[in-house]
A and B are shown apart, each in its own frame.
Chain A
Amino acid sequence: MIILSAENISKTFKGLKALDSVSFQVEEGEVYGIIGPNGSGKTTLINCITGFIRHEKGKVFFRDKNITKLPPHKIARMGITRTFQIMRPYFSLPAYKNLVIPLWGPRARKLGGWRGGGKHGDRDTVAIDILEEIGFERDSRVPYKLASTLPTGYLKRLELARCIAMRPEVILCDEIFSGLSVGEIGGLIPLLEKLKLEGVTIIMVEHRLRELFKVADRVMALQFGEKIAEGKPYDVIEDSRVREAYLGSDEV
């Protein structure tokens, strides 16, 4: 069943075409990758889908519901949540309190957050459970540290944890692998697979193709705001236009 579909999304920044009539559909429970060189419009696409940027043309459907003109918080309440490429934790709060906020949100209060927890005001405990699940050592002081003191690896995971806490149906990850070491990515991949097993649909915008292809079921390639290929990861990478777009990149 198709959970999220985008039709002909176009977005222009001051005459520069950031997205040109991009359409794609994501099946429920799959991991869908979006690749493309710098400036190809990947982040803009995520911003358009989640309502952070208004696009001029095109429609977005979530389970046949038109969510095109909705504000970001309403889209998020439906269970479509995102991470930010530039990490945006709540720096002045301890790590676990960062998760109390999405657990307090209307979606988690109504339906229960991660695994139904957090409904009855037990948000601190649920938050620490999530953090443990995502690789913060429970008995260490890490979950209680201020987010501003955490290293990048933890912050990336915190971004993901913030999404998970809402018990999302779709997560849009904006380059969660970038800036991480191979070891740290190795820690994240099982987590993504676990989420997939629990039925969460994941859309990943990524530069690190090798790591992405370990988890992705299907991949779409963008260049200059246009969709140039879509299909199984290794088929897409064989595509001549994709090769051309990436030529000179040492990642392929």
Chain B
Amino acid sequence: MKRSERVDRGINVRSEGIYAISSLKEILYLAGPRMALVLILFLLPVVLDSVPYWKRVVNIMLVYSLLAISFDFLANYVGLVCLGCSFFVGVGGYTSAILNSYLHVPIYLSIPLASVLGAVICTLLLLPCLWLRGVYFAIITLMYPLLLTRVIEALNIFGGTNGISGIESLPGNDLENYIIIVVMLAILFGLRRFVNQDIGLVMRGVKDNDQSIRASGINVTWIKTQAVFIASLIGCFAGSYLVHLYIWAGLSLFALDFSIIPIAAVTIGGSGFLIGAVVGSFILVPLSEFLRFFGSFRIVIYCVVLTLFIVFKSEGIMMYISRRYHQFERWVDV
């Protein structure tokens, strides 16, 4: 009788972070995938130099990766499921637009300033809801982008339904690529380090059970505030980058796409890795470009894919790949 067996490949790991590395091969084994990601990202603009349209797609893809990272971080490391990522995008985008177009803040200042300011605004707005858990938090975050849209519409502020135009564009094609590539990589690797720091552990503890965190003398709301600030910082950066990319800010920044695609990306890529979020966006966004002629039917496709993944393959692609990378299967006689 034959059975399939899974065997760990590579090096023995005693505990996370402590590796017994003895050869170049093993170093490569560990660092290889990371290097490959960095290399591919840096080469993409060069390879796609002749097709500027696809260079744009790379930017959009990275923007969605950022949003997906922010969603993944909040949902799987802190336990706050934010169904309205577009809230961050919108606030960041509008802040940047206001700074740049109304107050004439130069672009190299308006993006970082809008990220921080937007993050502060988002955190303050979400602050009263932080003690809510599970479904309640999810529902209320779903409401926020809608609420802001209606408020802007009703009060006719910030250009109303016409939006804000006259925004400085990003200088140069290559620069606009590399800004987002570098920021995305920095956030990805930075956040991966961060969640393994002690403060990251505390956040994971909040997800597991906040009662024990309270019993340990830690203020849960304060921890959640910090986490939301980080997530909204990422989201607001994405929003403010987008505004300068499109040189226009409008109500579509609060659109459903920015909420649902990151969630779909995380579900497809695999939740709880951060890198899974990136992989998911790298699959979904180019796919949606190929599906462009379907128009609004694209969102249907996303939703169907999302449902199929969440229902039938909830571990995601990244989990599968990493299992394949770290283990191999072989047939053995029993």
Contact = CB atoms under 8 A, between A and B. Distances in A.
Check A-B contact in the complex, CB < 8 A.
yes
Interface of A: 50, 52, 71-74, 76-77, 81-82, 84, 88-94, 97, 100-107, 121, 123, 144, 162-163, 166
Most chain B CB inside 10 Å of its own CB: which residue of A52, A74, A77, A90 = A90
Nearest to B216: A102
Nearest to B15: A144
A47 B211 CA distance: 11
29 contacts: A52-B211, A52-B214, A72-B215, A73-B216, A73-B220, A76-B216, A81-B215, A81-B216, A81-B217, A84-B212, A89-B208, A89-B212, A90-B208, A90-B209, A93-B205, A93-B208, A94-B15, A101-B198, A101-B216, A102-B217, A104-B199, A104-B201, A105-B216, A121-B198, A123-B198, A144-B14, A162-B212, A162-B215, A166-B217
B317 interface: no
B288 to A, nearest CB: 33
Given A101-B213, A144-B14, 7 more contacts: A81-B217, A89-B208, A89-B212, A92-B207, A93-B201, A101-B202, A104-B201
Most chain B CB inside 10 Å of its own CB: which residue of A82, A103, A104, A107: A104
Contacts of A123: 198
A72 B131 CA distance: 14
A73 B176 CA distance: 46
B198 A104 contact: yes
Contacts of A100: 198, 201
A139 to B, nearest CB: 12
Interface string B196-228: 001101101101110111111111100000000
A106 B209 contact: no
A155 to B, nearest CB: 12
A76 B205 CA distance: 16
Contacts of B214: 52, 71-73, 76
Nearest to A107: B217
A88 B211 contact: yes
Contact of B217 (A92, A97, A105): A105
B223 to A, nearest CB: 10
The 4 A-B residue pairs whose C-beta atoms are closest, nearest first, are A76-B217, A102-B216, A77-B217, A72-B214
B153 to A, nearest CB: 39
A162 B205 contact: no
Contact of A91 (B15, B208, B211, B219): B208
Contacts of B213: 73, 101
B218 A101 contact: yes
